[in-house]
Structure 1
Amino acid sequence: MPLAYHLLLRAATNENVTADTEENTTSNQPQWNSTPAWKLPGWVEPVVVVAILLTAMYTTRYQGYSIFSKRQPTSKTSLIASDDDNSRPSSSSHLLPENISDSEADYDDELLTTKNPPKKRRVCGSTFLTPNTARFRNNWHSRVLQRFPFLIEMFYWVINYAFYRLTAVLSQWLFGGSGIWQASQEHGIAVLEFEESGFLSFLFPVREHNVQEWFMNGHQGWLSALNKTYALIHIPGTVGFIAWYYHSAPTHPTFATIRRTLTLTNFLAFLTFILYPCMPPRLLPPHYGFLDTVRHDDATSVWMKGKFVNSLAAMPSMHFGYAFCIGLTLLYHSQVLRLQRLERGEVRKSWFWRAWFVMLGLLYPALILVTIVATANHYFLDALVASAYVVVAFMANRVFYVFLPLEDWLLWALRAEKPVPSTGRRFGR
């Protein structure tokens, strides 16, 4: 009996100590007291994104090209003659770098005797013959695509979004459903420990908790603004950048390089989401001191809801990955670092516009970094890994050329011809 009594007393004492510790920890945590200033209806965000896409379709359309007529005007600069020479096997062959498109144009004489010779695609040292879809140029859906070539870019990003939706399902399947929560929590804690005592700890002199605590103590108005920034800027901002850059890039190969970089960054991140689910700071146990300010402020985006949204995908931060890529692109086009190396068709910017591009290129990634950390949605390491993925994706973005044969066969099945891009047209090219 004395032994049992002793054990019960010890258990009760430990329980009281634990309760007091949790109470003290909770009382020391800053409280969220601000009231949301405004709340958007759920339909506003999709409408904004659709409006951006429709505006991009209209501003990048081919003027003078008729969907309803098979005979297109040949005055001024001919669309087909300038960008889709019939002597070439594909309307998209000019999109490839010169050394690649030249090698693909090396056809046998017998193939050139036909009206629409097969395309010769060279992938990983092997040569593939794929159907030439030029014969479908006058089909109605081909003419719609040629009138609004930005539709192809919209199709590419629909594929990206579909793959993101699958990451939550595949990750849960891989980690056995309920086991994914424990695994992602362990990974999140491991990230914090790595930042504190890992070999790269010198890169993280400030802790995520300190950043959020600073905003919570006397700067909650700013944090409310960051909550809205996190919820509302990511998707519309990225879509808006793609739309603007498709119209403003000096050439389509330049635009396509950035688009492929963003896409490959996506797929590297998606693979990480599946194999390394990571709990964001806001979902860690309360004693870590993080608060989910976006949801406390009722600022959740419509894109952050639904059963296919992957809430355990903190590593890496695609919010920062996109912002980092966009920032580097803006810095490149500021022309500050390449005053004597302008691209063909590029116009030299005034000092005002150079300063404007530099400011945006630096401030936008900085704003997103502060946002994702202050709202406890990401760790600093998430941003660092996302930056590394962007660099790797830029260096390896041509890997997507391996899908050209698949794209040729898809267009053949759809009886459609890939449109000639309108990027660079505003420079008179």
Structure 2
Amino acid sequence: MSTVNHTVPFDGESQWHSKPAWKLPGWAEPIIVASILFFAMFMTRRRGFRIFGEQSKIRSGYLDSATSNDSSDRLLSYDSDGEGEYEGFVGTTKYPPKNRNCCGVNLPMPNTSRFRNNIHSRILQRYPFLIEMFYWIINYAFYRFTSVASQTIFAKTGIWNVAQDHGLAVLEAEEFSFLSFLFPVRERDVQQWFMQGHQDALTVLNKAYALIHIPGTVGFICWYYYVAPSFDTFALARRTMTLTNFCAFITFIFYPCMPPRLLPPEYGFLDTVRHDDAQSVWMSGKYVNTLAAMPSMHFGYSFCIGMTLVYHSGLFRRTLEKGESRKGLFWKFFYLFVGIGYPTFILTTIVATANHYFMDAMMATFFVFVSFACNKVFYVFIPLEDFLLYLIRAEKPIPTTGDRYHERGGRI
């Protein structure tokens, strides 16, 4: 592999003069994320439903229906439109099985409606966002697993050398492959621009890289669960992000890629985040995968969020969802601006801090589009979810997504 065009004389230490403006204590970030989640749990609670005492009447979901064959139209989700199926059962069994159609096979799954008065079921009904919190805990656990899996696979060859070769291959592809026209600017040039005369701005980007990714993504999930016009719309965005995650995690395992900041010094990159002592608590620990540059989930998440905000603006939609009303011109352009500006800012951040290559962002974008097109693949897990709910003796709650949106006239 020829790398002569990438190596440059570089002394990053002597060029760095910026001082960290502030630093959060290690406990602050988990507290911030937990606060966002529990605030969302409170805001999305089911009003009028009491955990203890006489239960207020709530809508019944068609997940209770014995004939819910069409439930495979939703993954890990619920029907927020079904009403009164409890009274519509016909049969000799009080709790007949739910019929799931999975990959053309009809599966009779346990009916969990018998557990609706269990205390943990009532807690879930009161706070349905707890289900979303559980899903993202699974996502985070899977990410932690990628480091162990990748190190095991490349134990003999040495994962560090393999990841470095892959990182250099990305630089080569950006400059010499048939896709080189997509990368007119080099990552090193972007970082050098900030290093030479704009180091205060780079300090801001260092903080942004460390502190925005997790809280920003969690905050978006919470906010969109609250304001999406329907649960189906929210679930589509959540499934797309989740499948993008899984595509990225598989890539992390089988294609470990060293970020520019960890390449040998002759390639001209500086690890500015650590140099600025701006590391996030999520970037440290035994199971953090530091060799997971390809693709960039910083950009993958931000692109997903950005496109959702553009959709939410309503500017490019001729028709609205049921109960949704047109937003004012200010809010349309506000969501459009944030929808385009946020991923653009994250792209600048990940490149300027030498945490990712431009191709990492391109692959993340590709994964988002593939995940959007294929997100229904997750429907195969619905029977498994039924079984797990039966094991823990709980009934899945009906989501509150869209309730406050409709109450406020669709102007959120």
TM-score (normalizing by structure 1): 0.87
Query: SS at 1:349's partner residue?
Result: coil
Query: SS at 1:145's partner residue?
Result: helix
**Counterpart in the other structure of 2:25:** 41
Are the equivalent residues in 2 in contact too, given 1:171–1:277 (CA < 8 A)? yes
- What is the CA-CA distance between 1:203 and the residue it aligns to? 0.3
Are the equivalent residues in 1 in contact too, given 2:306–2:342 (CA < 8 A)? yes
Alignment of 1:73 with 2:52, yes or no, is: no
**Counterpart in the other structure of 2:215:** 236
Are the equivalent residues in 2 in contact too, given 1:279–1:314 (CA < 8 A)? yes
Are the equivalent residues in 2 in contact too, given 1:95–1:252 (CA < 8 A)? no
- Distance in 2 separating the partners of 1:150 and 1:110: 28
- Distance in 2 separating the partners of 1:370 and 1:141: 45
2:266 aligns with one of 263, 284, 287? 287
Query: SS at 1:128's partner residue?
Result: strand
**Counterpart in the other structure of 1:396:** 374
C-alpha distance 427-27 of structure 1, shift in aligned 2 (>3 A): closer
C-alpha distance 28-37 of structure 1, shift in aligned 2 (>3 A): closer
Alignment of 1:305 with 2:284, yes or no, is: yes
**Counterpart in the other structure of 1:15:** none
Are the equivalent residues in 1 in contact too, given 2:116–2:394 (CA < 8 A)? yes
- What is the CA-CA distance between 1:25 and the residue it aligns to? 1.6
**Counterpart in the other structure of 2:85:** none
**Counterpart in the other structure of 2:388:** 410
Query: SS at 2:106's partner residue?
Result: strand
Pairing of 1:217-232 with structure 2 (within 5 A): 217-232=196-211
**Counterpart in the other structure of 1:265:** 244
- Distance in 2 separating the partners of 1:234 and 1:92: 36
- What is the CA-CA distance between 1:123 and the residue it aligns to? 1.2
- Distance in 1 separating the partners of 2:388 and 2:47: 27
- Distance in 1 separating the partners of 2:13 and 2:173: 24
C-alpha distance 201-134 of structure 1, shift in aligned 2 (>3 A): same
C-alpha distance 85-219 of structure 1, shift in aligned 2 (>3 A): closer
Counterpart AA for 2:56: P
Alignment of 1:361 with 2:363, yes or no, is: no
The share of aligned pairs that are identical, in percent, is: 62
Unaligned residue ranges in structure 2 (runs of 5+): 1-6, 80-87, 408-412
- Distance in 2 separating the partners of 1:403 and 1:316: 25
- Distance in 1 separating the partners of 2:177 and 2:13: 27
- Distance in 1 separating the partners of 2:403 and 2:69: 16
1:63 aligns with one of 37, 44, 47? 47
Are the equivalent residues in 1 in contact too, given 2:272–2:354 (CA < 8 A)? yes
- What is the CA-CA distance between 1:428 and the residue it aligns to? 4.1
- What is the CA-CA distance between 1:36 and the residue it aligns to? 0.5
Query: SS at 1:37's partner residue?
Result: coil
Alignment of 1:150 with 2:129, yes or no, is: yes
Structure number with larger C-alpha Rg: 1
Alignment of 1:215 with 2:194, yes or no, is: yes
**Counterpart in the other structure of 1:349:** 327
Counterpart AA for 2:44: T
Pairing of 1:153-164 with structure 2 (within 5 A): 153-164=132-143
- Distance in 2 separating the partners of 1:246 and 1:41: 30
TM-score (normalizing by structure 2): 0.91
The alignment's C-alpha RMSD in Å is 2.4
Query: SS at 2:300's partner residue?
Result: helix
Are the equivalent residues in 2 in contact too, given 1:89–1:116 (CA < 8 A)? no
- What is the CA-CA distance between 1:347 and the residue it aligns to? 2.1
- What is the CA-CA distance between 1:94 and the residue it aligns to? 9.8
